Amino acid sequence: MNLELRQVADGVYATSRVAMQVEVADVIVFDMDGVLIDVHQSYPVVISKAVDHFLHERGFSGEDVAVTPEETQYFKAAGGFNSDWTLAQGVALIYLVKAYLAETRSIDTLRQFAPDLATVARAVGQYGGGMEGLRAALVHLVDEGALTTIEAEWDRERITRLAQEFYAGDQAPVVFGVSNDTIRGDGLMLTETPLIDRDTLLNAPFRYGLYTGRNRGEVETAFQLAGLGGVFQEEALVTENAGVRKPDPAGLFHIQRVLKPRLMIYAGDNLDDWQTAARYEAERQLDDPPCLFCGVLGGSPGPLSFGLFQERGVDLMTKSVRALLAWVTERKLRLTTS
């Protein structure tokens, strides 16, 4: 735990070391979801709906939902689930395992059947997070042979397709390049709202990069809906299409080669983002610019964010991108006028 962390401005928490360093920051790299775009009514709801639809296709029944949007925060807090499609796949696998153990496909019954989702998510975090951590947790519930049998019914591609259709709706062919054969109408992406406006970004003394798990279609659609076009240099956009995924720091290395900062800040809302910046720092050469991580509170881990970041010794946190920009700008102005 970082005991030096203190509030240094409205909505900003930092250590004294970082408060001095940010004065020379000239590039800010953003994650997208929970940082630039409010996705509380889109991706968590998509996960819930996609899991339910898949399970019902597999003969599950019941009035209850398998996972609520709020419960997805447990898995975001465990780490390794930067991809919402992967998270949906993971929850579906949990229910297939619980159905095997309880010998029922009643979602209502399985909701009450131990272990609950919060308990599983904690175990996943203890095993390193993500799908590997989930599988390690599940082999403590069923043996390897049984899990392999269960996985034969676990159609990850189908779950991903359902999630994409719930997210994009009739725009799925444009956003994902797939037809929406199952879900018709408006997609949940239309519920998203910007957390920062274009003018505020452009009026701040920084250049910007984006390193996100979204694909290019998702990013372009979000930029259009949020009015964020023209903020980012084309070469400084790293999406899923680039073939790298967080926590691989390759995206940050690419952006620093393009923008050549003195110091960059990576602003993200979950542990995968923190790990990406930590790995960049561990792997960079002496002539590579340093990268500070800023944890953006209230994103995918919800109210757990502050504690999760603090436990990992994060030196900089903010309640919003707007607050971060205002504070770092003030620090830079103080440096130039001193």
The Cα–Cα gap between 198 and 228 comes to: 5
Structure tokens at 89: 């796949």
**Tens digits of residue pLDDT in 154-193:** 999 999 999 999 999 999 999 999 999 999 999 999 999 9
Distance, CA of 293 to CA of 274 (rounded, Å): 6
Q: Is the pLDDT of residue 1 over 60?
A: no
The label of the residue with tokens 């975001």 reads 76
Helices (H), 72-129: 72-78, 84-102, 107-112, 117-126
C-alpha closest to that of 45 among 211, 187, 229, 217 = 187
Q: What is the pTM of this model?
A: 0.93
From residue 189, alpha-carbon distances to 152, 259, 286, 332 in Å are: 31, 30, 42, 36
pLDDT of residue 333: 85
CATH number of 6-39+192-337: 3.40.50.1000
Strands in 264-268's sheet, in edge-to-edge order, are 6-9, 12-14, 316-318, 291-296, 264-268, 27-30, 207-211, 237-238
Give residue 3's pLDDT. Answer: 58
Tell me what the mean pLDDT of segment 113-132 comes to: 96
Q: What is the pLDDT of residue 304?
A: 85
Would the pLDDT of 2 be above 60? no
pLDDT score recorded for residue 338: 57
Predicted local distance difference test score (pLDDT) of residue 300: 82
* Tens of pLDDT, residues 211-235: 999 999 999 999 999 999 999 999 9
Residue ranges covered by each domain of the chain: 6-39+192-337, 43-189
Identify the three-state secondary structure at position 252. helix
pLDDT > 70? residue 337: no
